[in-house]
């Protein structure tokens, strides 16, 4: 029997006083629909919005599960499309405190490692699949410099090391999603996308694997 690719999919808890995070909502719904994904062995989890806590939890999950693919989702208020991030930078730099109260300014994620990692997900094909499903998608060149970028960089570094050890490509990347309609009152004037559309978009992207 052919071994199915093992995929780890994560979202984030709400942050900055918000009551919801679309990435959490998407992952929780998909985790209840695992029977749809017959082409992969899918594992789901929710990360804290904390630099250290999110990295520690994600790397522990990766080390335990040894997945073939890691996909992290995160909220990006102001975006109108499902955004497949292309590059993670070695920088924590945000005015916003994480959920643990930590503020990081102009700080390297790992002073001993490279300046950036590129996504190793098939993001062009994934974005095309979302578009073919009738939903808006784009390739993004900036994952920011808050916790989303931090975990994108950290898991990319882990995947690169794991690939060297196993001599089998471990793919990792990050997808930013818009606010959902239920957040319109908390983020007045910001664009939203129905949660059902976002679940359909991420499901289409997963099926590419």
pLDDT (tens digit, 9 = 90+) per residue, 75-109?
Answer: 999 999 999 999 999 999 999 999 999 999 999 99
Predicted TM-score (pTM) above 0.95? yes
Percent with pLDDT over 90 in the chain: 94
| Tens of pLDDT, residues 168-208 | 899 999 999 999 999 999 999 999 999 999 999 999 999 99
Among 51, 56, 49, CA closest to 13? 49
| Tens of pLDDT, residues 100-138 | 999 999 999 999 999 999 999 999 999 999 999 999 999
| Tens of pLDDT, residues 45-71 | 999 999 999 999 999 999 999 999 999
Whether the pLDDT of residue 2 is over 80: the answer is no
Q: Please tell me the predicted confidence (pLDDT) of residue 51.
A: 98
Q: Phi/psi at 69 (nearest 5 deg)?
A: -140, 135
Whether the pLDDT of residue 1 is over 80: the answer is no
Whether the pLDDT of residue 166 is over 90: the answer is no
Active site (catalytic) residues: 85, 148, 176
Class of 6-207 in CATH: alpha beta
Give the integer Cα–Cα distance in Å for 128 and 56.
Answer: 32
Whether the pLDDT of residue 167 is over 80: the answer is no
Contacts with 82 (C-beta within 8 Å, 6 or more apart), sequence order: 127, 130, 135, 136, 137, 138, 175, 176, 177, 178, 198, 201, 202, 205
Give the integer Cα–Cα distance in Å for 152 and 168.
Answer: 20
């Amino acid at each position: 029997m052919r071994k199915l690719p093992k995929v780890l999919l994560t979202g984030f808890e709400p942050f900055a006083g918000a009551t919801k995070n679309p990435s959490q909502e998407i992952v929780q719904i998909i985790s209840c629909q695992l029977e749809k994904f017959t082409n992969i062995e899918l594992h789901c989890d929710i990360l804290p919005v904390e630099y250290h806590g999110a990295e520690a939890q994600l790397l522990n999950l990766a080390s335990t599960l040894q997945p073939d693919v890691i996909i992290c989702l995160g909220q990006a208020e102001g975006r109108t499309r499902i955004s497949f991030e292309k590059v993670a930078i070695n920088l924590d730099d945000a005015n916003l405190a994480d959920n643990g109260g930590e503020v990081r300014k102009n700080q390297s994620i790992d002073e001993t490692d490279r300046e950036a990692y590129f996504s190793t997900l098939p993001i062009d094909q994934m974005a095309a699949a979302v578009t073919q499903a009738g939903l808006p998608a784009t390739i993004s060149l900036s994952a920011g410099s808050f916790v989303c970028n931090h975990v994108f960089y950290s898991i990319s570094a882990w995947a690169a090391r794991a690939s060297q050890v196993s001599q089998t490509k471990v793919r990792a990347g990050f997808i930013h999603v818009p606010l959902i309609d239920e957040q319109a009152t908390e983020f007045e004037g910001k664009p939203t996308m129905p949660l059902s559309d976002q679940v359909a978009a991420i499901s289409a992207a997963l099926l590419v694997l």
